[in-house]
Amino acid sequence: MSTTVTQIDQMPLSGTKEGKITVTTVSEPYGPNSEPVASIGISLQADAKEPDWKVHIPKANIDAVITALEEAKKHL
């Protein structure tokens, strides 16, 4: 099976003119039989072919990352 990327959501990146945040799922991100991940990409320009930054989060870590982000939001 080959890698499949499924877009979940896309939103404007605050503080930029054309930047965006994308949330996707990626099957087999590291080759055959690797576990799927959620991927968050940051693009500073709308027409970017690849995000400037991205992070892959395994399913087992998503809840803890959400909790940490909610806590970080309180400190901003």
For residue 36, give both structure tokens.
Answer: 């799927």
Q: Indicate the pTM of the whole model.
A: 0.89
Domain that includes residue 9, residue range: 4-74
Q: Is 37 exposed, middle or buried (0-12, 13-18, 19+ CB in 10 A)?
A: buried
pLDDT of residue 1: 63
Q: What is the pLDDT along the chain (76 residues), one digit of tens a residue?
A: 689 999 999 999 999 999 999 999 999 999 999 999 999 999 999 888 899 999 999 999 999 999 999 999 999 9
pLDDT of residue 26: 97
Number of domains in the chain: 1
Describe the strand order of the beta sheet including 20-27 as a list of residue ranges.
4-12, 20-27, 37-43, 53-58
